[in-house]
């Protein structure tokens, strides 16, 4: 989806130029890249990947915390 097009579904999207992530709601107009301000393509970010990143950032599942 390109800058200026409307999002068909709500979700997390990443710009192809700078890999900046941004949330768009269904019907929102895709903006320019927030980093470089260029017209860009936006790709939907897989929800499973977004969940893994959120877990890694929260630190709730640390390696080595498992009982032996």
CB 38 within 8 A of CB 32: yes
Q: Which helix (H) or strand (E) holds 11?
A: strand 11-15
pLDDT at 17: 95
pLDDT tens digits, residue range 14-60? 999 999 999 999 999 999 999 999 999 999 997 655 555 555 566 65
What pTM did the predictor assign? Answer: 0.66
The domain limits of the chain are 11-58
Burial of 40 (0-12, 13-18, 19+ CB in 10 A): buried
pLDDT at 1 over 80: yes
């Amino acid at each position: 989806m390109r800058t200026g097009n409307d999002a068909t579904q709500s979700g997390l999207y990443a710009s192809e130029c700078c890999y900046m992530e941004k949330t768009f709601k269904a019907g929102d107009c895709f903006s320019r890249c927030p980093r470089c301000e260029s017209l860009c393509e936006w790709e939907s970010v897989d929800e499973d990947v977004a969940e893994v990143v959120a877990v890694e950032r929260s630190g709730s599942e640390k390696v080595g915390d498992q009982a032996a």
